[in-house]
Structure 1
Amino acid sequence: MSFTDFEYLLDKISPLISKQDTDFREAIPAKYRLAITLRFIASGDSYISLHYLFKVSPQAISKIIPEICKAINDVLRNEINMPSTADAWMNIERGFRRKFPHCLGSIDGKHINIESPPHSGTEYLNYKKTFSIVLLALVDAHYKFIFVDIGCQGRIRYKTGKVVNGDTISI
């Protein structure tokens, strides 16, 4: 991510994620909170690894990441638009045509490990036997997001009722 993109995103979500200092502690600045989250999403580093990198406790990191992901989702929700016309889908296909004819997007997903929410049973349990939420994204040929889903349970269910486990999904 470029510095300009980071600053743009930080400017958008700062009002939602900034915390105030107290008499007992200084708040973790918004830019560190965003950097921790982006590093986690990009690399999948453990909270312990992020602790050594950013000098923030794993307990704090476990609270920061879901909060920042929700803020990003809330702020950027209206900037990601699924095509609604045949012409819009054909424009996406044109971007892929040279290498991947008839392709309408590139999709991938990532399990984001979490602690099991209270009283959720196995609802967030994934095939790796850890609790997670799923980050799923569809992009066009220019890496522009056209669909994002953040936060469904560790298993993805489609209308057919089929459970698809895995890091990438073929549609």
Structure 2
Amino acid sequence: MTPEMFRELLQRVTPHIDKDHRHGMPIQPGMKLAMTLRYMASEDSYRFMACNFRVPHNTISLFIPEVCQAIIAEYQHEVFKFPQTADEWREVAEEFGRRWNFHHACGVIDGKQ
């Protein structure tokens, strides 16, 4: 990810993830975003990331879902567009078959173990 792309993403999700500063020193939105992107891009566990970033694993487990929800909320109307008609779904399936040679499917689900 380029620094410019990170800054844009940070600017857009910060209002969703910036916390009340009355309860001690909160983790800054930039650190939350960086750790979330690292988690999504790697096979690292919360405990491994806790050692690398010096943030408790239980704290990481609380803000990663929050940051993911913020990204979805901010980009859902721009990026997430689903077919509305049968013809649009058929077009998606045909493109998926051409591109990945996996016919009669509209997509796949990939998850973290």
Alignment of 1:36-47 (within 5 A): 36-47=35-46
Q: TM-score, normalising length from structure 2?
A: 0.74
Q: CA deviation at 1:95?
A: 6.7
Counterpart of 1:110, as a letter, is: G
- Higher helix fraction (1 or 2): 2
* Gap runs ≥5 in structure 1: 113-171
Contact 1:17 1:67 (C-alpha < 8 Å) held by counterparts: yes
Question: 1:108 and 1:98 mapped to 2: Cα distance?
Answer: 16
Question: Following the alignment from structure 2 to structure 1, what is the Cα–Cα distance between the partners of residues 38 and 101?
Answer: 30
**Match status 1:93 vs 2:94:** yes
Structure-2 separation of matches of 1:62 and 1:70: 13
Residue deviations 1:33-91 (CA, integer Å, cap 9, x gap): 01111222222311111112222111211211121122222222223011224157426
Say yes or no: does 1:52 pair with 2:27. no
- Look up the equivalent residue of 1:19 and give its one-letter code: K
Q: What does residue 33 of structure 2 align with? A: 34
Distance 1:20 1:84, change over 3 A: same
Distance 1:27 1:88, change over 3 A: same
Once residues 96 and 7 of structure 1 are traced to their aligned partners in structure 2, the CA distance between those partners, rounded to angstroms, is 36
What value does the CA root-mean-square deviation take over the aligned residues? 2.8
Q: Does 1:108 align with 2:109?
A: yes
* Partners of 1:35 and 1:76 in 2: CA distance: 17
Structure 2 counterpart of 1:50, which letter?
M
Q: Normalising by the residue count of structure 1, what TM-score does the alignment of the two structures yield?
A: 0.52
Letter in 2 for 1:46: S
| Alignment match, 1:13 | 13
Letter in 2 for 1:60: T
Alignment of 1:154-169 (within 5 A): none
Report SS of the residue matched to 1:84: coil
Residue of structure 1 in register with 2:3 after alignment: 3
When you count strand as a share of all residues, which structure comes out higher? Answer: 1
Please name the residue that 2:75 is paired with: 76
Supply the distance in 2 between the matched residues of 1:18 and 1:66 (Cα, whole angstroms): 14
